[in-house]
Structure 1
């Protein structure tokens, strides 16, 4: 009985941590909106540098410096893992820059679309790269999502590149992280450490040109730029805690909180347009995600078996 209660408590704790992470990611556009006069490049550079300092402070506070150094030594000895870290650092930097730029360019709705289709792109990469098989319902999900994106492209006359860039860079990032299998704290610290020299060099260049936003004359802006480290790292740490305690199926449902909150923020708080075309496209993608999330339930598995059985039966009749 005590074991069951302990498991339930851990599950509840995992749900709270995961919901906290996705809620913070959902309201993140509000934070970046407080820096309208700072370029996306400069915000990204500060985000990288202060994220590293924040994560290093976490390592010191939790007294896990020796563990971090040991893991780092092992990674440095493994060329594949070291090369993989450079790749994930580049991918997450591109993802962060596109996201920051899109938010301050009043394209929050497009960012939410990107994170809605991200799980489907992740599965697509699993099929192409890891040779995973696609079920009937997953195929239906991809077709519905593709029609949703195509609807928006045709009606607006432009590909929603912000959504696609965010979806694909984060999907590749997630896939590479899965292959590397490095602890969340160590991975995030090293990812930001690898990019930090480039970020510092850029900030020094901007400062030398006299256009730096980080200044004692603008304490609010300076504080927000420093805080970028915390708002980046805290959701990652919450997510890691939640992911370790929850099954992937439940975590998959909770992840849709983030783009839903972002969409609501963009439309209601910042009055971004949400037309009938958006409604049709998002409805198709929401339907795709619903089917995708339920694809492994008993009801959908039985339905898939019946459909495949009927299809095979018709084929046999036609061939005879």
Structure 2
């Protein structure tokens, strides 16, 4: 069993990249490698997980695990493992070696693999935002967490799908990348960016995808007001000096938080910026979200007359897909 090779894929790869030690994995270089012709047995899988645990303290993956095989000839139907036949040539640099005989797809390849079966473009968008952001849910990890390193960046994903157009799922992933951004800090920020930024035909407000958690350097006057050298803007249109802040209950409650937010807003305004706050309740209200979008639209100088007869229905559909209120 010690010689058993396995190539993890799909969501299992994302979980492994989340929980493995960066110093304990190596990106493979060189020509394509032959995939195993069968998935590991239950006993072999248990030994592989033990091998991983020895190399990466605290590593975690959920079952069923996803693995790549080179043929369907030895298919093993079992609740602990899902096999995915991959006949396309795969360059070695798209994999990481995690332990002896244990390999994982990189984030870009894993996202292409997931995209192949994902029927909802909105769900795929949320997945990409999370993979390129600083938070995780069970979509990419084994639990929820914040302030985690991104698994990928949008530019690298775009380069990967351009290099691998023949991979099933590459075209689907490539089509949603135009509406993605790096560095979203939470699932709610992602939902807000999609509501405001997606085109009207997709149920969004058509304001353009903002920069996420964009860093603005403080002027001397702003530094004197706030005591800070820079500000991080949740959703930002830098060319218009517009900052839209998602005011979550967790990060903005309490007197200290209110004082900090006030100083921050005053400092940005001293630099000519406009700051718009969006509360959790407002994000969950269609009417409130539309009112906020009109304010942003005026600031950005975008037209407010549209010729889409079923625009309201499209907005409702998008909000339902994102799990937001429609009242």
Between the two structures, name the one with larger relative contact order (CA 8 Å, sep ≥ 6).
1
Which structure is higher in strand share? 2
TM-score where L is the length of structure 2:
0.19
TM-score where L is the length of structure 1:
0.19
